[in-house]
A and B are shown apart, each in its own frame.
Chain A
Amino acid sequence: MSYRIVGKKTPYVDAVDKVTGRAKYTDDLRLHHPLRVKIVRSPYANARIVGIDLSAARAVEGVVDFVVGADFRHTFGVLPISKDEPAMAKERVRYVGEPVVAIIAESERAAVQASRLVRVNYEVLKPHLDPQKSLNESTDLIHPELGKKNNLHKSVNQSFGDVVAGLRSADVVVEHQFEFESVTHAFTEPHATQVEWEGENLTVYSATQVPHYLHRALAEVLELPMHRLRVVKPHLGGGFGGKSDPFPHEMIAVKAALKTGRNIRLAFEREEVFYSHHGRHPTKISMKLGVSRDAGIQALDGYMLIDGGAYGSFGVVTTYYNGVLLQGPYNVPNINFHCDRVYTNKPMCGAMRGHGGVNPRFASEVLFDEACVRLKIDPCEMRLKHFHQPNSKTINEFRITSVGIHHGLRNAMAASGWSQKYQKLPFGKGIGVACGFFISGSALPIHWNEMPQSTVRLGIDYDGGVSLYSGASDIGQGSNTMLAQMAAEVLGLPMTMIKVLAADTRHCPIDYGSYSSRVTFMAGNAARNAAIRMRRQLLEAACQLLECEAPIPTPPGEPENFFRQGGRPPDYGALYLGANPNYEDGYLFVDEKIVAPDGREVKYLDAVRKALDFQGALQSKGGYVSPKMGGSFKGAGAGLSPSYSYTAFISEVTVDPATGFVKVDRVTCAHDYGQALNPLAVEGQLQGSIHMGLGQALMEGMRYDDGAVQNASLLEYKIPSPFEMPEVVIVPGSGDECEGPFGAKEVGEGALAPFIPSVANAIYDAVGVRLYSVPLTPDKVLEALRQHAGGAHAP
């Protein structure tokens, strides 16, 4: 069965507004006479605040008031188990750039002028910058208030099977140490927040991926009932995980509104985005991989030390993801990992595209490649033999549903000419493969509750237009378009008849937000379920007009029951629609008409008006809740997802042996995203993952000096330019995900991680050296070549 809207290249519903500049981002909103807020930040990585003198700053004309740490009683954190962050520093600063004083003034100029007159008296302490040393520190703690013995934030140790026996049975054991610099999201739109008074209530406009979590955190930190706060996310210019926490500046802006009774406008400078960071953790990995010729990976043993920076953020999750995401894409019968996240005096790290899974993926894929070379086995053929099988279970009890990667990697091999190129290219040219595995949304919520993970509400009024209300946050990834597609497809309407109203906590039902690649899967299913229920109402009205009996839907239950019952294998018959229950009942909703099995037609608008006659207002809702799954051991919930994506990359590179420069020439990508709801969006996400991965692979890195970020600008923080982008070839690599909306699963994050090791493996094929320190910069390549040649290299 083919669809009219799903599966078709669909431009984003907000594309025209964005490219013409009409779209309003947070800082574009013009509130009534807002006061401006400027944050004074700590210049020290670790210091005690002895005193703050605001007298000179207060004397500046236009300065209205200040916000300081003492204005807040509560700390916060995106995870309820890790609320260690104050909205502003109180007695102590823990990283360079931490907010200390916020100036509220009539103009930006006055705020900036006053910011230079704030005198903070610091007692400077020795900063903890090295994670290993910080881990060993037992007296001088970064968070003495937490009552811990050292600066360790979170430690996870999980073991499945028998790693020692697995390593013993392997034909080859490869091991190495790996090192990764921190990378940051570098989204286009800097953080911004505006606060508007409406009677006694406050509306908070903010560039956030998670309006619901922000809503909760604001209510808690500012001690306001949630109903007095409304969080709205306007158009948003990129998140990548960097806007998925509640932030200090959001608390500061609301506090400023409360203190002054005025509207507030706050926007970051680019450098403040770097101080705020929350990017990928600097990581040290020590990994051992046992591989046998016939049975593939026998054992994986890894230790990861991740440098969390000053506060928790998503760090507990990151700590788990460093290990649990190694459970795929291959069968790993014996696995042991230990990950420590340690506090240091640096800007905090958190979630970033591919969260926690990226750096260990590099380590495991490079080692796997090395093992294949030593075993003299083609690394693609080896991978093909040991991918997960559909409808299986991993050793840590992940429920695996669809797996499309087998045919994906075969397609990539064919499209790239793998077998004609691997180990056959001239010196300096190379080809490399790597594969990956990622979640389609976390099956467990951050805040433990039984609520649906996403709920969508539909309303239809007299004009026939459909209002779709969703808490999901379109951060540029196109979730509003996806939601409109769901309703348009089910109701047989053009996209222009669906108006998505999203990410507004007053009007929209709860959705947890845009992170962990959950939105298409969860909010998409919720939207589809809401549309199925609306369809039933319209069908009843249509049947009244046709003077016939309305059909009883098969199965008659609620759409969500499909998931509650644990899902079921897909029916590949002609009427398969993905994510059952099947709403097929013989009637066709198409082109604003409802067509009966006997060919008689009712106009959509007539059905709407008939329905309104006896209902007054047409409403429906749909939800999504993950099926129950997973083991019962401690930490069994980490990495659980209703569905997993798989990726295969084959990268081709040219390495200049004289300069060490690596040019990625061509990338062939097969990503198992289930069914593409919008091939245009899928391609955009894959291109984006490759570009972002390319940055981490070859050049990006947060450069710290005494804890201060030294490259806090888009000139010095090196995002690849279009010249560095390779030719991208996307080949089909998908199965059909029976539980995803119309068969879809994630495409936003998973593809990033394996791209990086595919480049490293291609470099090995090109010049015979392995690199274990990311980014793979020219100087490191050259040094490796020199070591390899035993010092024989000369220009």
Chain B
Amino acid sequence: MLLENTCVWRPQSLAELRARLKQSSTGTIQFLAGGTDLVPALKRQGRVPELLVALSQIRELAGVKMSPTKDRLLIGPLTKLAQLSREPLIQQHFAVLGQVAGLVASPQIRNQATVGGNIMVDNRCKYYNQSEVDRHSHGGCFKAGGAVCHLIPNATRTSAPVCRARFVSDLAPVLILAHCELVIEGPQGERRIALKDLYHNEGLYGARLNAGEILTRLEIPLPLVGKIRYEKLRIRQAIDFPSLGVALSVRDEGGSEVLDVCLTGVDTRPVSLTFRPSQFATRDDFWQNVAQVSKKSVVPLKQDFFPPQYKREMIAVLLKRLWEGN
């Protein structure tokens, strides 16, 4: 498969990139980091931006550091996932993040894929991540620029386009539970947002920054609030995106355990839930509540290897495993 003709620009430093972004840009820009997700997508969609900005030479955006005040872990978005797993600072202060990075895809992909790319990964759907023949066969969906959602057939163009493409980052739920903040640079200067606010409840664009903006840093306040763990459900123990990912952080609230949960793979965004088991008379009541809340809070659709109902059920199963497996 060939990439359509496009212009690729490879800035050598952040300063060079900043200067370019300040100019009122003509035409569409797409940032290219590791490219493990983007390049296949560009090839398959046959729609490429006018300018592809390859970030690989911007050294300032890669690597893990401790803040001068020693209370924040600073992660460059161009840090490779393989590097994240090996990084001593991560192993010391946020070991689970390194482990979760090691669950992504395969060694070859982890050598190339970046932290920024993982948290900004485009939402996926079996009708969108498809060949041209298949898209002609079914008719292009909203996300592919068409006028239909094959999962929700009665959705039409007259209302807002509907897209339930699912969010599939492994790192995001763990980072969200660690209260990760993003530092974003744009034409108006620098801004900060909580990672959880990056995501929207629709699958069309997934995570998206404003025009001309670039993610320059992830910041994680230390020490971490609770003990964070992650379980990933997928049919193969390598290669696959999460069919479901459950991240759990257990913290103490007045002597009782509080479970902060963040889910991936089952909705258009990472889904944050909080459970207070102490409010239930029995464990069975509690798990029933978890099942009910899971049912209300996430909308998995038939767009993945596993049936939606199974995925929904597995939320409680994995959560139980994480919690009781301490």
A721 & B137 in contact (Cβ 8 Å cutoff): no
A706 & B237 in contact (Cβ 8 Å cutoff): no
What is the CA–CA distance of A598 and B131 in the complex, to the nearest angstrom?
73
Q: Which residue of A lies closest to B284 (CB)?
A: A794
B235 & A723 in contact (Cβ 8 Å cutoff): no
A705 & B46 in contact (Cβ 8 Å cutoff): no
Stretch at the interface among B74-82, B251-259, B314-322: B314-322
Instruction: Return the contact of B310 from the options A706, A712, A722, A782 (Cβ within 8 A).
Output: A782
Tell me if A234 counts as interface (CB < 8 A to partner B): no
A681-716: which residues lie under 8 A (CB-CB) from chain B? 698-699, 705-712, 715-716
B306 & A779 in contact (Cβ 8 Å cutoff): yes
B316 & A708 in contact (Cβ 8 Å cutoff): no
Tell me if B201 counts as interface (CB < 8 A to partner A): no
B239 & A721 in contact (Cβ 8 Å cutoff): yes
B225-250: which residues lie under 8 A (CB-CB) from chain A? 233, 235-240
Q: Which residue of A lies closest to B130 (CB)?
A: A710
Q: Which residue of A lies closest to B126 (CB)?
A: A710
Contact with B along A710-748 (1 / 0, CB 8 A): 111001101011111000000000000000000000000
B138 & A720 in contact (Cβ 8 Å cutoff): no
What is the CA–CA distance of A44 and B139 in the complex, to the nearest angstrom?
11
Q: Which residue of B lies closest to A96 (CB)?
A: B137
Q: Which residue of B lies closest to A107 (CB)?
A: B2
B236 & A721 in contact (Cβ 8 Å cutoff): yes
Tell me if A7 counts as interface (CB < 8 A to partner B): no
What count of chain A residues pass the 8 Å CB interface test? Answer: 41
Tell me if B134 counts as interface (CB < 8 A to partner A): yes
Question: With A659-B314, A778-B306, A794-B287 known to touch, is A269 a contact of B1 (CB < 8 Å)?
Answer: yes
Contact residues in A for B136 (Cβ distance below 8 Å): 43
A440-476: which residues lie under 8 A (CB-CB) from chain B? none
Instruction: Return the contact of A710 from the options B134, B287, B307, B317 (Cβ within 8 A).
Output: B134
What is the CA–CA distance of A675 and B38 in the complex, to the nearest angstrom?
51
Tell me if B160 counts as interface (CB < 8 A to partner A): no
Tell me if B133 counts as interface (CB < 8 A to partner A): yes
Contact residues in A for B310 (Cβ distance below 8 Å): 660, 778-779, 782
Contact with B along A228-271 (1 / 0, CB 8 A): 00000000000000000000000000000000000000000101
Shortest distance in angstroms between A36's beta carbon and chain B's nearest beta carbon? 11
Contact residues in B for A779 (Cβ distance below 8 Å): 306-307, 309-310
Question: With A658-B317, A710-B126, A724-B237 known to touch, is A109 a contact of B137 (CB < 8 Å)?
Answer: no
Question: With A112-B2, A778-B310 known to touch, is A708 a contact of B138 (CB < 8 Å)?
Answer: yes
What is the CA–CA distance of A381 and B233 in the complex, to the nearest angstrom?
39
Tell me if A275 counts as interface (CB < 8 A to partner B): yes
Instruction: Return the contact of A720 from the options B126, B236, B316 (Cβ within 8 A).
Output: B236
Shortest distance in angstroms between A273's beta carbon and chain B's nearest beta carbon? 11
Contact residues in A for B133 (Cβ distance below 8 Å): 41-43, 96-97, 271, 275, 708
Shortest distance in angstroms between B305's beta carbon and chain A's nearest beta carbon? 7
What is the CA–CA distance of A275 and B132 in the complex, to the nearest angstrom?
12
Q: Which residue of B lies closest to A710 (CB)?
A: B126
Tell me if B71 counts as interface (CB < 8 A to partner A): no
Contact with A along B122-159 (1 / 0, CB 8 A): 00001001111110111000000000000000000000
Shortest distance in angstroms between A378's beta carbon and chain B's nearest beta carbon? 33
Shortest distance in angstroms between B5's beta carbon and chain A's nearest beta carbon? 8
Instruction: Return the contact of A658 from the options B130, B238, B321 (Cβ within 8 A).
Output: B321
Contact residues in A for B130 (Cβ distance below 8 Å): 710, 712
A777 & B137 in contact (Cβ 8 Å cutoff): no
Question: With A269-B1, A712-B131, A779-B306 known to touch, is A722 a contact of B235 (CB < 8 Å)?
Answer: no
Instruction: Return the contact of B137 from the options A43, A108, A659, A795 (Cβ within 8 A).
Output: A43
Contact residues in A for B314 (Cβ distance below 8 Å): 659
What is the CA–CA distance of A705 and B287 in the complex, to the nearest angstrom?
36
Tell me if A600 counts as interface (CB < 8 A to partner B): no
Instruction: Return the contact of A116 from the options B1, B46, B134, B313 (Cβ within 8 A).
Output: B46
B316 & A795 in contact (Cβ 8 Å cutoff): yes
What is the CA–CA distance of A699 and B320 in the complex, to the nearest angstrom?
25
Q: Which residue of A lies closest to B3 (CB)?
A: A109
Contact residues in B for A269 (Cβ distance below 8 Å): 1, 131
B137 & A708 in contact (Cβ 8 Å cutoff): yes
Contact residues in B for A715 (Cβ distance below 8 Å): 239-240
Contact with A along B1-18 (1 / 0, CB 8 A): 110010000000000000
A777 & B235 in contact (Cβ 8 Å cutoff): yes
A708 & B134 in contact (Cβ 8 Å cutoff): yes
What is the CA–CA distance of A724 and B238 in the complex, to the nearest angstrom?
9
Question: With A710-B134, A794-B287 known to touch, is A659 a contact of B233 (CB < 8 Å)?
Answer: yes
What is the CA–CA distance of A108 and B4 in the complex, to the nearest angstrom?
11
A659 & B317 in contact (Cβ 8 Å cutoff): yes
What is the CA–CA distance of A724 and B236 in the complex, to the nearest angstrom?
7
What is the CA–CA distance of A44 and B137 in the complex, to the nearest angstrom?
6
Question: With A658-B317, A778-B306, A795-B320 known to touch, is A712 a contact of B238 (CB < 8 Å)?
Answer: no
Contact residues in B for A698 (Cβ distance below 8 Å): 235
Shortest distance in angstroms between A690's beta carbon and chain B's nearest beta carbon? 16
What is the CA–CA distance of A795 and B315 in the complex, to the nearest angstrom?
10
Contact with A along B289-326 (1 / 0, CB 8 A): 00100000000000001110110011011001100000
Shortest distance in angstroms between A699's beta carbon and chain B's nearest beta carbon? 5
Contact residues in B for A716 (Cβ distance below 8 Å): 126, 129, 305
A723 & B134 in contact (Cβ 8 Å cutoff): no
Contact with B along A14-50 (1 / 0, CB 8 A): 0000000000000000000000000001111100000
Shortest distance in angstroms between A591's beta carbon and chain B's nearest beta carbon? 46
Q: Which residue of B lies closest to A709 (CB)?
A: B134
Listed in ascending order, the chain B residues whose CB lies under 8 Å from chain A are: 1-2, 5, 46, 106, 126, 129-134, 136-138, 233, 235-240, 284, 287, 291, 305-307, 309-310, 313-314, 316-317, 320-321
Listed in ascending order, the chain A residues whose CB lies under 8 Å from chain B are: 41-45, 96-97, 108-109, 112, 116, 269, 271, 275, 658-660, 698-699, 705-712, 715-716, 718, 720-724, 777-779, 782, 794-795
What are 5 A-B pairs with beta-carbon distances under 8 A?
Answer: A658-B317, A699-B235, A716-B129, A724-B237, A777-B235
User: Could you list 18 further interchain pairs (A-B, Cβ under 8 angstroms) beyond the known A271-B134, A705-B138, A794-B284?
Assistant: A43-B134, A44-B137, A45-B137, A96-B133, A116-B46, A275-B133, A659-B233, A659-B314, A699-B236, A699-B305, A710-B126, A710-B130, A712-B131, A722-B238, A724-B236, A778-B310, A779-B309, A795-B313
Ranked 4 nearest A-B pairs via Cβ? A43-B136, A723-B237, A721-B238, A779-B310
